Amino acid sequence: MSDVKDTSTAAERGAALPAQSPPVDPAETAAAGEKAAAGGRLSWWHGDAGEGARRNLALIGVLVALIVIGALTRSDLYSNPDWVWDNVLSILKLASVVGVVTVGMTFVIIGGGIDLSVGAIVALAGVWCTTVATQSYGAGGMIFSALTVGLAVGLVNGLLISYGRLVPFIATLAMLVAARGLAAEISDKQTQVSDNNFINGLASNSLLGVPLLVYILAAVVAAGWVLLNRTTFGRRTVAVGGNPEAARLAGINVKRHTLLLYALSGLCCGIAAIMLTAQANSAQAAMANLYELDAIAAAIIGGTLLSGGRGTIIGSLLGVVIFATITNLFAINGLSTEAQNMVKGGIIVAAVLVQQVQFRSLTQFLNRNRLTTT
Amino acid sequence: MSDEQPEETVVTDAPLVEAPADTVAGEVVLRLTDVVKTFPGVRALDGVRLEVRAGEVHCLLGQNGAGKSTLIKVLAGVHRPDSGTVEWRGEPVTFANPQAAMRAGIATIYQELDLVEDLSVGENAFLGHEPRRLGFVRRGHMARRTRQILGRLGHAEIPPNRMVRSLPAAGKQVVSMARALSHEARLIIMDEPSAVLAHDEVGNLFRIIRELTAQGIAVIYISHRLEEIREIGDRVTVLKDGRTTAANLPARDTPTRELVSKMTGRTIEYVFPDRPAEPPAGDELLRVDGLTRAGEFADVSLSVRAGEIVGIAGLVGSGRSELLETIYGARRADAGTVRVAGRALRPGSVGSAVRAGLGMAPEERKSQALLLGEPIYRNVTLATFGRYSRAGFTDAAKERAEADRIAESLDLRPRDVRRPVRTLSGGNQQKVVVGRWLLGDTKLLLLDEPTRGVDVGARAELYQVIRALAARGVGVLLVSSEVPEVLGLADRVLVMREGRVVREAPATELDENTVLDLVMAGSLMEGAPA
Ligand SMILES: Nc1ncnc2c1ncn2[C@@H]1O[C@H](COP(=O)(O)OP(=O)(O)OP(=O)(O)O)[C@@H](O)[C@H]1O
Ligand SMILES: [Mg+2]
């Protein structure tokens, strides 16, 4: 029962639906406005768009803190502006390879999956593109083969997971082992030197004072941002990760999209393989060791929800840069990598806590304050 | 079966300012004064007063978003009030967390089920207070007590060790009820418990509530169905925009007109939209032949014409939802065909159904339909954002405009479509689920319990919208547990029982009792097999 209606307006509303836009009831609008006004001057802070931005602000805070620590501990170096600029560039260069991998990883995690095989794919693609046979085709052949290998391995991951119904963790763990094995087989466990000047130049050359690797990172990040925030692909990614059943019932092809996500991650690994090969002027089966951990950690620190459905590219980028800055901080202070790893672990926990706990209570605090002052 | 409540008239406490109902004898166990609770940008509670006595069923009425669920979450220790006092059995209290409220004797059945899908029925019922000895859970003991409680709830057939995931919606509701009963509660709060229950289950629920109140336990009962409040309630408190607009009205005698105007601030009349004078004679849109899924439904044939609203009445578990999902391709049929405008759909492919112009608002909004963290407009356009895109780029401004239009026509509150859906009240979330398919060029709309949790006013608007769609030539297949809704809205009605269609007739030729008899026949335990 309880089928009751406001005779004055409901009929109009119902009838108005098929039309382009029904007239807005002025009383309703006023009421809505009032409610919004109750939100007060801090409403931007609470706004829907604000949430990601808020997180990223926290990460920038962490970054600034790290730089301040650097400046305090090595004030001698920081007093030289040229050194500071060079140091910034070296941090970005350090971040570039993992950064590219992290962009792909971010998509996979937002889409509700995980890719443990990224480091192995980078190694396989790197080894594949530096064999004597591939190098004989020149830079174009090397780039093509790296991208193709990355894409192909990503597709296999995707097929196993979406159509083979394997759990992502298991499928990509198996791929991690298999791809490294294949890389070792191909390279015969040797280091394969790259003789290609174009490829090697990607790491050693700069444009307008900025290393080319940093441009590649910027391009991948920009493309990833657009893809996630402005395209139907990105929208599907969030839907598939946020609630796969809802996505399926809305007519989204969840399996195909999952497949594409792993392919995208593989493609990013292919790009990273070229960059890493350029940096080392060589490739070997053990390269890009534990990149999967770095990429996952960076994405999580950047606010990507491990259970899927939420995450930002900018956050992931900040995560990667924070890690690179820590590494740099330890390097300029001449500290051991062991200590560095311990601090990294701490930073992961701290960053997540800062985002979750601190910001919730800060929001609450601001809220309460607003209430008492108005 | 309705008025067994003892009608003692001794009022022991000082009467409240508002009309004190004389039907309730118990002492006041709970008193809220000027409780305020704000969320970012919303004053969900803005000075609520409430008084509940031992042994009474106190009903909360209010439109979608009025603050009912927020209020009970304050009582349950989920939210802490910004200001105001909560007195529980004479003492001012603030519950730091839900456990504290439970220890104090307040058990809550939430509007959105909060069960752990991968735990068993018994584990869910005793979650957080498992009976244990030396740190080990006493599984046998727990199973026994669960069985006892389920028996009391009239559902002895649910095995305590069954996984909750495998239960239908109504079964899950029973489990959350069992959880509330597993505490020694003095106050049990039920937030729209009947929304997922079928007619006979509601009767069962009322029987349990009467048992509870006879033991002096107080019950706070929330529902949008006025007739339920008349049947089970003692007193009513009405909320509007987070304020108490009327307190302690007698549940049985207060005129509907008064209740509704206190709730909505306007006068409202009881109507379904008019049916077209002529029965719709459009082309056949949907043709289902011999559709079968083992254990769910068998040999179902039906058709829907363009512009026609076909209703399916049946109990929860009669295979209605499964049928709808199978037509939509979300489940794969064992036998039978589904044709849309003469063309067979690929079995088990939602994509093929959506391309053919089908849309479905599923039964469980939270698990099947919504991206809770995403803004309203993205939820509204979840099935259509591709259509508003250009070369793969989404057009958020256009999507927001379209979502605004839907929000307007369904009276969504708050109206701001950039808010996350998570912050909407239950009824408003439901409007988002249905609203999704009002966009785009849906030709055939499958609606599974479309008005679940939607308030009286918005419900009427939704009916108008559905009728307006049909007038445009859209076919509608509607499943609802509320028989009057099926009879009032549909042109033609199918009655389902145990997976089979047992009757098909124009809605005007059926009445509520006939349908109920058909639906129930043979479903009673003591009845001889038909
Ligand atoms: N977590 C939250 N964040 C922000 N706003 C919220 C949150 N929870 C509820 N609200 C808002 O508070 C108001 C009251 O919501 P509430 O859920 O209490 O309504 P309700 O009376 O239970 O409605 P319904 O009948 O639809 O269930 C609504 O405007 C809702 O949007
Ligand atoms: Mg509610």
Is residue B530 pLDDT above 90, yes or no?
Answer: no
Q: How far apart are CA B409 and CA B403, in angstroms?
A: 10
* Sign of the C-alpha dihedral computed for residues A232, A238, A241 and A243 taken in this order: negative
- Which of B69, B112, B432 has most ligand 1 atoms within 8 Å of CB, for mutation? B69
Cα separation of B170 and B157, whole Å? 13
Interface contact flag, A43 B40, Cβ < 8 Å: yes
Rounded to the nearest angstrom, the minimum Cα separation between A39 and chain B is 4
CA of B208 to the centre of ligand 2 (A): 22
- At B522 the pLDDT is 52
Whole-number Å distance between alpha carbons of A86 and B53: 74
Average of per-residue pLDDT across B371-387: 92
**Contact indicator for B428, B64 with CB cutoff of 8 Å:** yes
Residue A331 CA to its chain's centroid (Å): 25
| C-alpha B426 to ligand 2 mean position (Å) | 5
Q: Pick from B464, B485, B489 the residue to mutate for testing the A interface (most A CBs within 10 Å).
A: B464
pLDDT at B2 over 50: no
Give tens-digit pLDDT for B455-504.
Answer: 888 888 889 889 988 988 999 999 988 888 899 999 999 999 888 898 99
What residues form DSSP beta bridges with B220? B58, B189
On chain B, the residues whose CB falls within 8 A of the CB of A3 are 270-272, 456, 459-460, 463, 484-485, 488
How far apart (Å, rounded) are the C-alpha atoms in residues B80 and A228?
37
pLDDT at B448 over 50: yes
Q: Which ligand has its closest atom nearest to the C-alpha of B376?
A: 1
**Out of A10, A39, A233, closest to residue B461 by CB:** A10
Q: Which two tokens stand for residue B330?
A: 């979300």
B458 Cα–ligand 1 center, Å: 15
User: Given ligand 1 and candidates B222, B423, B434, which is best to mutate, with the most ligand atoms within 8 Å of its CB?
Assistant: B423
Determine if ligand 1 sits within 6 Å of the CB of residue B64.
Answer: yes
- What ipTM was predicted for this assembly? 0.81
Q: Is B111 in the pocket of ligand 1 (CB under 6 A)?
A: yes
- Residues of chain A with C-beta less than 8 angstroms from the C-beta of B330: 248-249
pLDDT at B529: 37
pLDDT mean over B417-431: 90
Q: Do A242 and B42 touch (CB under 8 A)?
A: no
Specify the CATH architecture of the domain B284-357+441-520. Answer: 3-Layer(aba) Sandwich (3.40)
Over range B184-193, report the average pLDDT: 90
All CATH 3.40.50.300 domain ranges of chain B, comma separated, are: 23-264, 284-357+441-520
Give the pLDDT mean for B34-53: 91
Q: How far is B107 from chain A (nearest CA, A)?
A: 27
CB contact under 8 A, A246 and B382: yes
pLDDT band with cut points at 50, 70 and 90 for residue B270: low
Here the tokens at position B378 are 């993205």
- Which token pair is B507? 């809605």
- The reported pLDDT for the residue numbered B133 is 80
Strand, helix or coil for residue B55: coil
pLDDT in tens, B406-421: 999 888 888 899 999 9
What kind and span of H or E run contains A28? helix A26-39
Q: A-chain residues within 8 Å CB-CB of B350?
A: 248-249, 251
Distance CA B130, CA B280 (A): 57
Partner-chain residue, chosen from B368, B415, B468, that has the shortest CB–CB distance to A249: B368
More confident call, B119 vs B276 = B119
> Residue B5: CB within 6 Å of ligand 1?
no
Ligand 1 in reach of B182 Cβ (< 6 A): no
* Residue with CA at minimum distance from ligand 1 atom 8: B423
Mutate which of B408, B445, B480 to disrupt the A interface (most A C-beta within 10 Å)?
Answer: B408
Ligand nearest to the CA of B66: 1
Architecture in CATH of B23-264: 3-Layer(aba) Sandwich (3.40)
**What are A240's two structure tokens?**
């598939």
**CB distance B429 to ligand 1 below 6 Å:** no
In this prediction, residue A5 carries a pLDDT of 40
* Ligand 1 atom closest to residue B413's alpha carbon, by position in its atom list: 29
8 Å CB contact of A232 and B264: no
A78 versus B354: which is more confidently predicted?
B354
Instruction: State the distance from the centre of ligand 1 to the C-alpha of B429, rounded, in angstroms.
Output: 10
Number of A/B CB contacts below 8 angstroms equals 194
Measured distance CA(B18)–CA(B246) in Å, rounded: 8
Q: What is the DSSP string of B70-135?
A: HHHHHHTTSS--SEEEEEETTEE---SSHHHHHHTTEEEE-SS----TTSBHHHHHTTTS--EETT
Greatest CA separation for chain B = 73
Query: CA-based angle B349:B355:B360, to the nearest 5?
Result: 70
Q: Cα–Cα distances in Å, from B82 out to A230, B45, B220?
A: 39, 9, 22
The pocket of ion ligand 2, defined by CB under 5 A, consists of B 69, 111, 425-426
Q: Are B393 and A231 an interchain contact pair (Cβ–Cβ within 8 Å)?
A: yes
Q: Which residues of chain A have pLDDT under 70?
A: 1-52, 351, 354-374
Q: What is the pTM of this model?
A: 0.82
Task: Give me the architecture of the A64-368 domain, per CATH.
Answer: Orthogonal Bundle (1.10)
pLDDT at B24: 53
Answer yes or no: is pLDDT of B453 > 70: yes
Q: Give the tokens for residue B511.
A: 């009445």
pLDDT tens readout for residues A177-191? 999 999 999 998 889
Which pLDDT belongs to residue A358? 47
For residue A18, the model assigns a pLDDT of 37
> Are residues A14 and B467, on separate chains, in Cβ contact within 8 Å?
yes
Distance from CA of A338 to the nearest CA of B (A): 39
d(CA B448, CA B444): 13
Helix (H) or strand (E) holding A119: helix A118-129
C-alpha–C-alpha distance, residues B419 and B436, integer Å: 16
Return the pLDDT at A47: 41
Contact B40 A38 (CB under 8 A): no
For ligand 1, atom 3, which residue shows the shortest CA distance?
B423
Q: Which chain A residues are within 8 Å of B488, Cβ to Cβ?
A: 3
What are the residue ranges spanned by the domains of chain A? 64-368
Q: Is the CB of B62 under 6 A from ligand 1?
A: yes
Please state whether the peptide bond connecting residue B131 to the residue before it is cis, i.e. omega within 30 degrees of 0: no
- The pLDDT mean for chain B works out to 85
**Ligand 1, from B38, B39, B226: best to mutate by most atoms within 8 Å of Cβ?**
B39
Let me know: does B504 contact B492? Beta carbons within 8 Å: yes
| pLDDT of B73 above 90 | yes
The pLDDT-based confidence of B221 (bands split at 50, 70, 90) is: very high
Structural tokens at position B42: 């919303």
- Compare CB distances from A1 to B227, B328, B472 and report the shortest one's residue: B227
B68 lines ligand 1 (CB under 6 A): yes
Task: Find the mean pLDDT for residues B386-391.
Answer: 89
The residue whose CA is least distant from atom 16 of ligand 1 is B67
Distance B190 CA to ligand 1 centre (A): 16
Count other Cβ atoms within 10 Å, centred on residue A126.
33
What residues of A are in contact with residue B375 (Cβ under 8 Å)? Answer: 48
Nearest C-alpha in A relative to B480 = A1
pLDDT of residue A3: 41
Give pLDDT, residue A22: 35
Q: Is pLDDT at B62 greater than 80 in this prediction?
A: yes
- The partner residue sitting opposite B41, judged by closest CB among A36, A233, A310, is A36
A231 to chain B: which residues are within 8 Å by CB? 389, 392-394
Report the nearest-CA residue for atom 25 of ligand 1: B64
Cβ pair B180, B18 in contact under 8 A: no
The four Cα atoms B367, B373, B376, B380 give a dihedral, to 10 degrees, of -40
The verdict on a CB contact (< 8 Å) between A249 and B225 is: no
For ligand 1, say whether the CB of B427 is within 6 Å of any of its atoms: yes
Position A41 scores a pLDDT of 41
* Any ligand 1 atom below 6 A from CB of B414: yes
Q: How far is the CA of B454 from the centre of ligand 2 (A)?
A: 9
- Put simply, the answer to whether A250 touches B353 (Cβ < 8 Å) is no
Residue B365's pLDDT band, with cuts at 50, 70 and 90, is: confident
Least confident of A168-172, A233-237, B162-166, B332-336: B162-166
Query: Do the Cβ atoms of B382 and B187 come closer than 8 Å?
Result: no
Tell me which of B366 and B529 has the higher pLDDT: B366
* Strand, coil or helix: A265: helix
